[in-house]
Structure 1
């Protein structure tokens, strides 16, 4: 039996040597049965095949380059081609040469959405495509502020208003009731600093993407404060988290602030910070309102990632808050990210209902 098995392996390897000849090959690991074709099928499935492995293709986990394929990373790793409708599985073998293509297709068809896509979809209203986010991370910076001091009771009340997602640190997110988490997504905040230092706007990383995955988070967030000496450190942290998000399929929200300015007087600086956050890999960018629909529109236009409006300091006039929200949405905002103005409202669930009515309205006119 051993001799028969070795003989079979020899015949298979001899067939591959004859088929491939002296040409260079690339492999990606997987499971399934073999299907192969010669140059005509290779051109039909993949178009013109390159004579050398493209330098931009990242190596897979085995350290061997993935096969060339004009599609997204998932298909490059599997050796399938979305443009040709190839339904390859998540870990298919693929061998590519100038004259031969050998595929290995698992039986299951691939799912169209990636993990990142599915997580992002949970953050948006299914009809409006916009979002109502509520940060509850403020006590790390400010202490047990009104509206978040008795956290267990107040969480229940706030979640009754069904924000699309809440943003908090690990300790509070672990206290979110399981039944509430079914209707409200959770975003784990990964940076912190306290007012006790006198420089609470300077943030350091306090968690990572792997922990957020373990926690079951739908996204992560990081704050960057521009215009301070530590700006480059925070940008480095944002980039590091963005790299982790790419590896794990986790959406990233960047909270962007510029120190020492009134956003209404320097909207171009808010636009600069927003664009920098998007350039470094953020999927959503939160910025303060710049005082007018026209100026906020310049921020939105200059940032290719969706922009959401921050709430800022508590306001005596809820009507003014709603007017700002309406103007931001008319300028192209993808939603709001409002915390204290809701949490310190006399009726937080009603305040959230007002935000839902504006943000998820089909007609903002």
Structure 2
């Protein structure tokens, strides 16, 4: 279990205090806290797949387990959109084959359920030496929208992101990845991504693992919606 998520309800309440644009979580999480989220009147995205790197719970190894666990119809019951991962760099080609086929099926199912599909192309396999390689991410994002993504959630390389965003025919948001050391680094990441063409962010640990998630959300909102500088946004921390 990640630090800061020992009490999911408490973590959710801290995030909702800052009036975020939306919540991205698993379908069961959204169902469990449906009344709290509905009261906050935010958009919701339901994750319908699951990735494991070990057959032991809570352990991290190098297994390549990626599977669909919920349907687009499940997501449509509690969310405004569904999200899946498209993982590159695995050792076994069959894993990518199954992943790509799953994403394409999910796109078709989401169209039938009348909800958009968010695809998160990632470089998480053992063959990857740099999960923020801009050249690989450019190809990964292109393949994601060719498989049917309505929205892209991309890792953010600090250099080389602008042509990736420019080449995307779908709205692009950046993923946060592991929590960075300081709140200011989060703001700098988002300011740089927006300047390079991202429409916003879909962050997890870089929100709920911060000391004051609500303040960080307020600061990020000022950048994304108010086009403020890092210095201006930092005054809200």
With the length of structure 1 as denominator, give the TM-score of the two structures: 0.57
| Contact 1:263/1:289 (<8 A) preserved | no
Give the corresponding residue for 1:287: 154
1:332 counterpart (174, 177, 197): 197
Task: Tell me the alpha carbon deviations over residues 168-194 of structure 1, each in whole angstroms, 9 at most, x when there is no partner.
Answer: 112211222525324212111011022
Partner Cα distance (2:20, 2:101) in 1: 30
Larger RCO, structure (CA 8 Å, separation 6 or more): 2
Does 1:271 find its partner at 2:164? Answer: no
The correspondence for 1:211, drawn from 48, 58, 74, is: 74
Matched, 1:153 2:7: no
In the alignment, the residues of structure 2 paired with residue 349 and residue 146 of structure 1 have an alpha-carbon distance, to the nearest angstrom, of 17
Measured in 1, the distance between the counterparts of 2:82 and 2:103 equals: 11
The one of 165, 168, 175 aligned to 2:32: 175
Q: What SS does the aligned partner of 1:262 have?
A: coil
Within the alignment, does 1:249 sit opposite 2:99 as a pair? no
Deviations 1:42-72 (A, max 9, x none): xxxxxxxxxxxxxxxxxxxxxxxxxxxxxxx
Q: In the alignment, is the contact (CA less than 8 A) between 1:329 and 1:364 conserved in 2?
A: no
Asked which structure has the greater CA Rg, the reply is 1
1:196 deviates by 2.8
1:8-157 to 2 correspondences below 5 Å:
144-157=1-14
Residue pair 1:263, 1:291 contacting (<8 A) in 2 also: no
For residues 236-271 of structure 1, what are the alpha-carbon distances to aligned partners after superposition, in whole Å with 9 as ceiling and x for unaligned?
Answer: 10000001111121100011101323244x201101
Change (3 A) 1:356 1:314: same
Cα distance in 1, alignment partners of residues 144 and 229 from structure 2: 27
Give the TM-score, by structure 2 length. 0.86
1:159 Cα deviation after fit: 1.4
Task: Give ranges in structure 2 of 5+ residues lacking alignment.
Answer: 56-60, 231-237
Kept in 2, the 8 Å contact 1:286–1:307? The answer is yes
Contact 1:192 1:204 in 2 (8 A): yes
CA 1:356–1:243: 2 relative to 1, 3 Å: same
- CA deviations 1:96-124 (Å, max 9, x no partner) are xxxxxxxxxxxxxxxxxxxxxxxxxxxxx
Q: Does 1:227 align with 2:94?
A: no
CA contact (8 A) 1:193 1:200 kept: no
| Contact map agreement 1:284 1:307 (CA 8 A) in 2 | yes
Query: In 1, distance between residues paired with 2:20 and 2:156?
Result: 20
Deviations, residues 105-150 of structure 1 (Å, cap 9, x unaligned): xxxxxxxxxxxxxxxxxxxxxxxxxxxxxxxxxxxxxxx2112111
Distance 1:361 1:311 in 2: 20
Preserved contact between residue 151 and residue 170 of structure 2 (Cα < 8 Å) = yes
- The size of the alignment, in residue pairs, is 218
Query: Quick check: which one's helix share is greater?
Result: 2
Q: Distance in 2 between matches of 1:307 and 1:227?
A: 22
For 2:186 and 2:38, locate their aligned partners in 1 and report how far apart those are by CA, in whole Å: 27
Please say which of residues 349-358 and 227-236 is displaced more in the overlay: 227-236
Using the alignment, how far apart are the partners of 1:310 and 1:261 within structure 2? 19
Structure 1 unmatched ranges of 5 or more:
1-143
